[in-house]
């Protein structure tokens, strides 16, 4: 698998200083999703929790298993790429 011809970049302002570092560190030093983030798996539905970036409150979302898996796979780096 080579490098994609077209890159889709989603850039968003995440603040300054410590809050920005905290936000980015979630993606740089941990796996894509932690086990305690998944609330339940029942009847091919996955419920997980996340922090709403606008309100700072914990939210829950339920998706079909294949849609949840697709979201997770979008965060996995291609072969030979590394997080730095």
Q: What's the average model confidence in pLDDT over 35-62?
A: 91
Please check whether residue 83 is in contact with residue 28, taking contact to mean a CB–CB distance below 8 angstroms. yes
- Tell which wins on pLDDT, 72 or 5: 72
24-46 tens-digit pLDDT = 776 666 667 788 889 999 999 99
- Predicted structure pTM score: 0.60
- In angstroms, what CA-CA distances link 63 with 36, 46, 52, 60, 83? 17, 5, 17, 10, 28
Give the model's pLDDT for residue 84: 61
Return d(Cα 35, Cα 37) in angstroms, integer: 5
Distance of CA 29 to the CA centre of its chain: 12
Give the model's pLDDT for residue 80: 80
């Amino acid at each position: 698998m080579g490098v994609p011809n077209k890159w889709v970049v989603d850039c968003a302002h995440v603040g300054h200083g410590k809050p920005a570092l905290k936000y980015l560190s979630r993606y740089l030093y941990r796996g894509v999703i932690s086990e305690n983030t998944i609330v339940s798996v029942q009847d091919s539905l996955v419920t997980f929790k996340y922090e709403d970036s606008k309100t700072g409150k914990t939210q829950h979302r339920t998706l079909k298993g294949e849609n949840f898996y697709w979201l997770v796979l979008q965060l996995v780096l291609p072969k030979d790429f590394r997080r730095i």
